[in-house]
């Protein structure tokens, strides 16, 4: 599971600047989840090879009317509760304030690892001002500059010190490994109904329901000879052998489950159509490169008018998931569930397909013969060969010269041909251009 770091502090100390720096430093993928919840921003971050989820909060603001203060304090507390480590950001230029003391007092009782980041400290490395922050009782102040990117790496290293590094999941091609499946969806779409229906099925053999770590639940099972691991699913709790929904939707859990999965089963509610929250979850799955199957649940409960409306909302709001299979099901009535398993297995196969270099290279050459990339100025991109750069999602790395001029439309054209050849469904894929010289 990716660790979670919350940024707290009063307004204007530089939390959003730090948040942006942490999330933008991610290789290619930036996910900002403003909109998933109103008060807190969630982002995927990467620093010095460590991946984590970062939460930005609005901060305490004790001068403002009490309604707002209370609201901000609440969301800060919620972020702290969700986090594994907290970075308390203060302002080197302004020194310690009364509000800082208030926040520090709260954080000392929060029973979380807390680091003190003294921001805006560019050019103040040896300033006596920094020592003043010891009085907050949060430990050694870490001088940083979010604006200039100084001191951030060691701050994050200190924050994540206790967390095991991610083992690279190179064993994806080990067929013995279970398919890691996340069932994601808003509260009430039918996640627990579906999972309980599955677990009650004769054709499914559940192996174990290991104990809980950080409230994580996970179930190993086998169906038609294929092993699955149902990974921690947001918004569910185990009660004996059955799962039940808990009211609170946890963005962090959803993000962690998606990041951990090979395949995401996105559940929608046919009676509701695609909500903004559904689209955000789907967008995150896409950006994480996960394989996706969309199941529209409660199909039993909608009339033809609602069905059409629901289908239209999928076309419009989930247009970016064109690669995903969309299936209609009823978890309650046990309808349409067989094809879901098939789609999950198929998406997984696609996501972990091996694409040999000679085959990819031939495909690239054939594609160019059929339609060459456009000339840009004096140079025409020359595609020489391609190799597979990764799985889940499949990444194809094209080598050649002047490839920076290859248009997005042309990349999509290449993607289409590669998809057709390898029969890739249910998984996003990436094409990277690598020019020599
Ligand atoms: P937030 O309210 O805590 O999210 O603070 P912001 O990230 O919006 O930053 C508040 C102000 O501080 C902005 O004008 C930033 O440009 C500025 N700021 C943020 N980080 C730094 C820094 O490292 N050095 C300096 N000098 N200014 C900074
Ligand atoms: P969760 O919050 O995503 O786990 O959702 P639940 O599984 O608790 O389901 C929420 C509500 O939707 C419950 O009242 C279920 O009985 C109902 N429900 C779940 N699946 C279906 C379905 O396929 N058809 C209908 N009509 N109702 C369903």
Over range 76-86, report the average pLDDT. Answer: 87
Higher-confidence position of 69 and 375? 375
pLDDT over threshold 90, residue 347: yes
The verdict on the CB of residue 328 being under 6 Å from ligand 2 is no
Residue range 242-284, pLDDT digits in tens: 667 666 667 787 888 888 899 999 999 999 999 888 898 898 8
**Average pLDDT, whole number, for the chain?**
84
pLDDT value for 308: 95
Model confidence at 79, pLDDT cuts 50, 70, 90, reads: confident
The verdict on the CB of residue 297 being under 6 Å from ligand 2 is yes
Q: Which residues pair with 237 in a beta bridge?
A: 244
CA 189–ligand 2 middle distance (angstroms): 6
pLDDT over threshold 50, residue 31: no
Angle between the 276-287 and 251-260 helix axes, to the nearest 10 degrees?
Answer: 30
What ipTM did this prediction achieve?
0.72
CA 17–ligand 1 middle distance (angstroms): 6
Higher-confidence position of 250 and 15? 15
Lowest-confidence pick of 71-85, 100-114, 263-277, 281-295: 71-85
Model-level pTM? 0.72
pLDDT over threshold 70, residue 135: yes
Higher-confidence position of 79 and 294? 294
pLDDT over threshold 90, residue 300: yes
The verdict on the CB of residue 265 being under 6 Å from ligand 2 is no
Nearest CA to ligand 2 atom 19: 190
CA 406–ligand 2 middle distance (angstroms): 47
Residue range 369-426, pLDDT digits in tens: 999 999 887 788 999 989 999 999 999 999 888 898 899 999 999 999 999 999 999 9
Q: Which atom of ligand 2 is nearest to the CA of 187?
A: 2
CA 9–ligand 1 middle distance (angstroms): 12
The verdict on the CB of residue 372 being under 6 Å from ligand 1 is no
CA 71–ligand 1 middle distance (angstroms): 22
Q: Which ligand is nearest to the CA of 22?
A: 1
pLDDT value for 335: 95
Higher-confidence position of 168 and 377? 377
Residue range 185-236, pLDDT digits in tens: 888 899 889 988 888 876 666 665 554 444 456 778 888 888 888 886 666 6
pLDDT over threshold 90, residue 75: no
pLDDT value for 207: 65
Q: Which ligand is nearest to the CA of 123?
A: 1
Contacts 24+ apart (CB under 8 A), 314-317: 314/268, 314/273, 314/274, 316/274, 317/274, 317/278, 317/279
pLDDT value for 339: 95
Lowest-confidence pick of 47-61, 115-129, 130-144: 47-61
């Amino acid at each position: 599971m990716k660790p979670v770091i919350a940024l707290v502090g009063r307004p204007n100390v530089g939390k959003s600047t730090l948040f942006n720096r942490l999330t933008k430093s991610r290789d290619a993928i930036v996910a900002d989840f403003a909109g998933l919840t109103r008060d807190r921003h969630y982002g995927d971050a990467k620093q010095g090879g460590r991946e984590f989820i970062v939460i930005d909060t609005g901060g305490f603001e004790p001068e403002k009317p009490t309604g707002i203060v209370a609201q901000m304090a609440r969301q800060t507390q919620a972020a702290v509760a969700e986090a594994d480590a907290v970075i308390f950001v203060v302002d080197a230029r302004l020194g310690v304030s009364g509000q800082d003391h208030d926040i520090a007092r709260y954080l000392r009782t929060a029973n979380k690892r807390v680091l003190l980041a003294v921001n805006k400290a560019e050019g103040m490395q040896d300033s006596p001002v920094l020592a003043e922050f010891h009085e907050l009782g949060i430990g050694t102040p870490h001088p940083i500059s979010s604006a200039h990117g100084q001191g951030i790496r060691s701050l994050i290293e200190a924050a994540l010190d206790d967390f095991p590094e991610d083992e690279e999941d190179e064993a994806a091609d080990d067929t013995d490994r279970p398919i890691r499946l996340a069932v994601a969806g808003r509260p009430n779409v039918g996640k627990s109904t579906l999972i309980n229906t599955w677990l009650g099925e004769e054709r499914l053999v559940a192996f174990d329901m290991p104990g809980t770590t950080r409230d994580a639940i996970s179930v190993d099972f086998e169906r038609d000879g294929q092993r699955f691991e149902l990974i921690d699913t947001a918004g569910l709790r185990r009660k004996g052998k059955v799962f039940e929904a808990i009211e609170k939707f946890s963005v962090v859990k959803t993000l962690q489950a998606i990041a951990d999965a090979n395949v995401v089963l996105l559940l929608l509610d046919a009676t509701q159509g695609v909500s903004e929250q559904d689209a955000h979850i789907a967008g995150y799955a896409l950006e994480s490169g996960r394989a996706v199957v969309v199941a529209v649940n409660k199909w039993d409960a909608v009339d033809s008018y609602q069905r059409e409306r629901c289908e239209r909302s999928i076309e419009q709001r989930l247009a970016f998931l064109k690669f995903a299979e969309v299936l209609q099901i009823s978890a309650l009535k046990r309808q349409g569930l067989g094809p879901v398993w098939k789609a999950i297995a198929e998406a997984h196969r696609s996501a972990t397909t091996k694409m040999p270099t000679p085959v990819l290279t031939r495909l690239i050459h054939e594609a160019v013969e059929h339609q060459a990339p456009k000339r840009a100025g004096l140079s025409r991109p020359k595609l020489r060969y391609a190799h597979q750069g990764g799985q889940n999602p499949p990444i194809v790395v094209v080598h050649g010269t002047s490839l920076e001029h290859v248009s997005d439309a042309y990349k999509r054209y290449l993607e289409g041909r590669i998809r057709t050849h390898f029969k890739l469904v249910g998984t996003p894929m990436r094409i990277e251009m690598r020019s020599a010289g």
